Amino acid sequence: MKYNRQLLIGFSFLGLMLTSSIFAPLLLRHDPNALASPAETRHASPSFEHWFGTDQFGRDVFTRVLYGGRISLLIALAVVICAVAFGALYGAIAGYLGGWWDQIFMRVVDALLAFPVVFLAVTLMAVFGTGLKWLIIILILSSWMDVARVVRAEVLSLKQRPFIFKARAAGLHAPRILFYHLLPNAFATVLAAAILRVAEVILLESALSFLGLGAQPPTASWGAILNDGKAVFATAWWITTFPGLAIVTAVLSFNLIGEGLRSSQSK
């Protein structure tokens, strides 16, 4: 196997972030939500005690970034798993049926893609309320269409392959062909698309949390920490800079892995 630098860098950063987030309660001495009583520990700049400084309530930013990672990454992965499950099924059915059904299925996707996601989220949350539950639902609703498109395209090309012809000539039923012959062969493409999707969901989740529509205080997510620090950026740059870097690193890692997988397939 050829040495793939994109995959190596992507997996290294991602591994670091995932393990530090998962094991955050074991690694850290500070409570992410504990308020500091003495006023002097608020807005403390980065030091040996507080690596990323403290925020306006004296909470340790390093601790909050790691705990925020648990929320942000968990939401992103959960959303993408649901979106891929639904999107892959939808796209595969559209591609397999073809013809008019395909047209109808895909025009629905086009219509949904035409909606501006943030606008849609703000409207829906104004109606149904904010919070993680609604955030996740809205993220799923806005993420499955891309997966459906990718899977449909893949199924359309796989459908012409001789082994699908063989399966049909043997009299196999459509669901059997779909689930045992088409989808398993589309797996690699779906995986690469899904991983690229994770990066976009992280960004979207951060944006919505930054707008106050996602994780509610005191729960930390990367977007929410950014929101905490935005008013004091000029005096306490560390509150916004470090969660921002975390977002950039996570998005970059997922993009590198997704691109790396895609290029290793096409070789």
Angle, vertex CA 249, rays to CA 246 and CA 254, nearest 5 = 125
CA distance 231 to 134: 26
Please report whether residue 173 would count as binding another protein according to CB under 8 A: yes
Q: What proportions of the chain, in percent to the nearest 5, are helix, strand and coil?
A: 75, 0, 25
Of 172 and 207, the one with the shorter C-beta distance to another protein is 172
CA distance 71 to 194: 19
Interface residue with another protein among 63, 181, 198, 214 (CB under 8 A) is 181
Least distance from C-beta 161 to another protein, angstroms?
6
CA distances from 208 to 20, 38, 78, 122, 134 (A): 24, 32, 17, 8, 11
Least distance from C-beta 167 to another protein, angstroms?
7
Interface residue with another protein among 1, 114, 127, 170 (CB under 8 A) is 170
Q: Are 177 and 168 in contact (CB under 8 A)?
A: yes
Of 66 and 158, the one with the shorter C-beta distance to another protein is 158
Interface residue with another protein among 1, 169, 266, 267 (CB under 8 A) is 169
**What is residue 1's DSSP assignment?**
-
The two tokens of residue 250 are 């996570």
Interface residue with another protein among 85, 116, 157, 166 (CB under 8 A) is 166
Torsion angle, CA of 191/192/198/199, rounded to 10 degrees? 170
Please report whether residue 168 would count as binding another protein according to CB under 8 A: yes
Q: Which stretch binds another protein (CB under 8 A): 18-26, 43-51, 177-185, 190-198?
A: 177-185
CA distance 215 to 190: 29
Site for another protein in 83-142 (CB under 8 A): 98-99
Beta bridge mates, 60: 54
Please report whether residue 230 would count as binding another protein according to CB under 8 A: no
Interface residue with another protein among 185, 216, 219, 264 (CB under 8 A) is 185
Q: Which stretch binds another protein (CB under 8 A): 61-69, 130-138, 157-165, 221-229?
A: 157-165
Locus of tokens 């340790």: 60
Q: Which stretch binds another protein (CB under 8 A): 61-69, 86-94, 129-137, 164-172?
A: 164-172
- Residues forming contacts to another protein in the complex (CB under 8 A) are 98-99, 160-163, 165-173, 176, 180-181, 184-185, 187
